[in-house]
Amino acid sequence: MALAESVLQIVEETARHHGASRVRAVHLTIGRLSHVEPEALAFSFEVVTRNSIAQDAQLEIHTSEGVAWCMECSDTVSLDRLGDACPRCAGYQLQVTGGDEMRVRDIEID
């Protein structure tokens, strides 16, 4: 819920800055390795945007893939879930390097 409120805050500020009358759509990028449940975020977004400039705005959540640096392989590998092993060497010496972001990508306004 707090995340949805933060999204709304960013959307409202941007919409106001651009003199928008209405927000039609909001695009988010949510990493596969972030702790966000996209369905829960979509539900919260609908609740917090009621009676706001973003009421009925379409929320689109784009998922970015998880990537990590494997110290054993000395290479970047893909990672579906935190706690999974390196797909190449099956080790766990992994440092997440991408796919944990939560960003407001862009909005469509009238």
Instruction: Report residue 34: phi and psi, to 5°.
Output: -75, 165
Name which of residues 9 to 38 contact another protein (CB under 8 A): 9-10, 12, 14-16, 18-22, 24, 28, 34-36
d(CA 89, CA 101): 26
Please report whether residue 60 would count as binding another protein according to CB under 8 A. Answer: no
The answer for residues whose C-beta is within 8 angstroms of residue 87's C-beta and 6 or more apart is 77, 78, 79
d(CA 35, CA 81): 10
Question: Least separation, in Å, of the C-beta of 71 and another protein?
Answer: 8
E strand segments, 1-110:
23-31, 58-64, 67-70, 75-78, 94-98, 102-109
Question: Least separation, in Å, of the C-beta of 53 and another protein?
Answer: 5
Please report whether residue 71 would count as binding another protein according to CB under 8 A. Answer: yes
Please report whether residue 108 would count as binding another protein according to CB under 8 A. Answer: yes
In the complex, which residues of this chain contact another protein (CB under 8 A)? Answer: 1-3, 5-7, 9-10, 12, 14-16, 18-22, 24, 28, 34-36, 48, 51-53, 71, 81-83, 85, 92-96, 101-110
